[in-house]
A and B are shown apart, each in its own frame.
Chain A
Amino acid sequence: MDTESAYSGYSYYSGRSRGSHRHGERSRDRHKSRSKESSRSEKSVTINAPPAEPLLGDQSVRGEEVQDDNWGETTTAVTGTSEHSLSQEDIVRISKDLDDSVGLDCKRYLNVALSVILGLVVFLTPLAFLILPHLLWPDRLRACGTACEGLFISVAFKLLILLLAVWALFFRPPRAGLPRIFVFRALLATLVLLFVLSYWLFYGVRILDSQDEDYQGIVQYAVSLVDALLFIHYLAIVLLELRQLQPFFSLCVTRSTDGATQHYNLGQLSIQRAAVVILENYYKDFPVHNPALLTASKSRAAKHLAGLKVYNVDGPGENNAAAGIAQSQSRAMIAAAARRRDSSHNELYYEEAEHERRVRKRRARLVVAVEEQKKAPGDVMDPREAAQAIFPSMARALQKYLRTTRQQHLHSMESIQQHLAFSITNNMTPKAFLESYLTTGPTLQYGKDRWLARQWTLISEASVTSGLKDGTVFLLKCIDFSLVVTTKKIPYIQLAEEFIDPKSHKFMLRLQSETSV
């Protein structure tokens, strides 16, 4: 997520960056990048290793190299420009890497630099407050008594706690790159900046200028600064982490190509953050996108439409003779199409039944082939060799099965052998080994080259930094398909209570028995 906690940089530059809307990808990114800040940078929890993440086009590759600099910002490409750039997809894919790499470097380094500077400023401020009097007017300074020295310890530990807390909250590898600023982070950064500035102002005017001798007062002032920083950190936790935990909206995500649908409950988030959460869940919940499965329905649809596309383009105001002839012709064609349509559902039914039967037959053969095989090896081999020994005998059955279910492009020979070695190492039964082939799993299950993680675009009518509302609809577009997301508010649940007296739970067992005497 983008980390906007820019203390000094952001609030100054943000105005500029917002003004320049269509500057082009790089310059805008650079403006945005300055808002990242190390000590307060919001690094949301990483879901994946950095290379696999980037949403909305950034970061992932560069994430690794700068991770140790506590940077958590994600500067992402502007939605607009990335949309335009999708027009030529191949070129996009190739060039996006280059673009990303150069643009990202600039952005990220700037971000990191700014973050580090701001963090240092914030951390060193209390220390500066404490040290400056000793440097500037040591002779006039009243000696620091016991209470004052106690305060030194308190400052030290509070700074340590602050450091740990900031590390825990913000120094996490970023999980996504967002198109617009992260509003809460920006606000927090501005707040911290203003806060520190006002403290410096006060310090400069009242203490440095007048060369105050009361060192204890100065130490207490520094302690109050650190306390307030801790409270701002608390505010950061609440705003950034806690507020969206309570579920408030239910989002329905549908894939446009095959209609796979999932529902997620989210809290109050902005649209871009919700998009990140949805995409993270997409990779584990949705079955992998298989274009081969769509061609059958497409050809059917094409045949269907070819007969039906008969509409009279000429309006009703045309002369009647021509319209009359056109109408009768079109009626005939529509009738023919209707007749064909009647039989097409028949075709569909039989085709599907046939396919089902074929799949089942192949599956049975496959299961038998694998089960026979798994009993075999007697001599000691390492899993790799064992896999290679077993593999040829069931390769044919497996290939045929994959071809029938149109999954053959998802699994390569190499991956199958690897999986076989893996299941041998872990003592998996044949059924467990086959499970990943018999059912289509989520995208997570397949190789990382399947993850089009870098190529998502967020399309939304409302501003992406605005919060989710009931009825918000937005699109997450990928190269091959798109995810349509609709929002519904979770209704207010009114629970009523009904008290049941425990005494009413006593029952009498009534029988009707007959005894002969």
Chain B
Amino acid sequence: QQRIEIHKLRDGDNLILGFSIGGGIDQDPSQNPFSEDKTDKGIYVTRVSKGGPAEVAGLRMGDKIMQVNGWDMTMVTHDQARKKLTKKNEDVVRLLVTRKSLENAVRQSMMQH
């Protein structure tokens, strides 16, 4: 488990973090390529944009986000997770993530392509 602190980047009116999430309790967990357990409905990082704040902070594709600023992310809907990450009055988000070993992550990303 790892704690990652991301500083949001201001782009015009938006604050962007530079990654994409997938998953949620209202989503179909069997389609999640990153999860080991296909019933896991947690929030996973599906993409990390190159050079963005997330990559700089050390977030990698395939990480499962457990907490965001203290808010639990294991039992939320997709939209709730998005909202927790994109609060307008926060400039910094502190994530608690879990990562499988690097090899698995690489293998999985290779399998995806």
Which residues from chain A sit less than 8 Å from chain B, CB to CB?
510-517
Separation of A515 and B78 alpha carbons in the complex (Å)? 8
A512 contact from B32, B82, B85, B86, Cβ within 8 A: B32
Q: Is the CB of B27 within 8 A of A511?
A: yes
Q: Is the CB of B47 within 8 A of A513?
A: no
Q: Is B62 an interface residue, CB under 8 A from the partner? A: no
Q: Is the CB of B16 within 8 A of A513?
A: no
Q: Is the CB of B17 within 8 A of A513?
A: no
Q: Is the CB of B46 within 8 A of A517?
A: no
Separation of A514 and B31 alpha carbons in the complex (Å)? 11
Separation of A140 and B59 alpha carbons in the complex (Å)? 126
Chain B CB count within 10 A is highest, among A510, A511, A512, for A512
Q: Is the CB of B19 within 8 A of A517?
A: yes
Q: Which residues of A contact B20 (CB under 8 A)?
A: 514-517
Q: Which residues of A contact B82 (CB under 8 A)?
A: 515, 517
Q: Which residues of B contact A510 (CB under 8 A)?
A: 26-28
Q: Which residues of A contact B42 (CB under 8 A)?
A: none
Closest to A512 in B: B31
A514 contact from B16, B26, B28, B46, Cβ within 8 A: B46
Separation of A229 and B40 alpha carbons in the complex (Å)? 83
B105 to chain A, nearest CB (A): 17
Separation of A411 and B22 alpha carbons in the complex (Å)? 77
On whether A512 and B47 interact (CB within 8 A), knowing A517-B16, A517-B20, A517-B82, the answer reads no
Separation of A494 and B32 alpha carbons in the complex (Å)? 48
Q: Is the CB of B78 within 8 A of A516?
A: no
Chain B 12-26 interface 0/1 with A at a Cβ cutoff of 8 Å (1 = within): 000011011110001
On whether A511 and B28 interact (CB within 8 A), knowing A517-B82, A517-B86, the answer reads yes
A517 to chain B, nearest CB (A): 5
Q: Which residues of A contact B86 (CB under 8 A)?
A: 517
Q: Is the CB of A517 within 8 A of B85?
A: yes
Chain A CB count within 10 A is highest, among B17, B47, B78, B85, for B78
B109 to chain A, nearest CB (A): 15
Which 8 A-B residue pairs are closest in the complex by CB-CB distance?
Answer: A510-B28, A512-B31, A516-B20, A517-B85, A514-B22, A517-B17, A515-B82, A514-B20
Q: Is the CB of A512 within 8 A of B16?
A: no
Separation of A517 and B86 alpha carbons in the complex (Å)? 7
Separation of A513 and B19 alpha carbons in the complex (Å)? 14
Closest to A511 in B: B27
Q: Which residues of B contact A515 (CB under 8 A)?
A: 20-22, 78, 82
Q: Is the CB of B28 within 8 A of A512?
A: yes
Q: Is the CB of A513 within 8 A of B85?
A: no
Q: Which residues of A contact B85 (CB under 8 A)?
A: 517
Separation of A517 and B20 alpha carbons in the complex (Å)? 6
29 interchain pairs, CB-CB under 8 A: A510-B26, A510-B27, A510-B28, A511-B26, A512-B22, A512-B28, A512-B31, A512-B32, A513-B22, A513-B78, A514-B20, A514-B21, A514-B22, A514-B47, A515-B20, A515-B21, A515-B22, A515-B78, A515-B82, A516-B16, A516-B20, A516-B47, A516-B49, A517-B16, A517-B17, A517-B20, A517-B21, A517-B82, A517-B85
Chain A CB count within 10 A is highest, among B27, B32, B47, B85, for B27
Chain B 30-55 interface 0/1 with A at a Cβ cutoff of 8 Å (1 = within): 01100000000000001101000000
Q: Which residues of A contact B21 (CB under 8 A)?
A: 514-517
A391 to chain B, nearest CB (A): 73
Separation of A511 and B28 alpha carbons in the complex (Å)? 5
Separation of A512 and B26 alpha carbons in the complex (Å)? 9
Q: Which residues of A contact B78 (CB under 8 A)?
A: 513, 515
Q: Which residues of B contact A514 (CB under 8 A)?
A: 20-22, 46-47
B83 to chain A, nearest CB (A): 10
Separation of A516 and B47 alpha carbons in the complex (Å)? 8
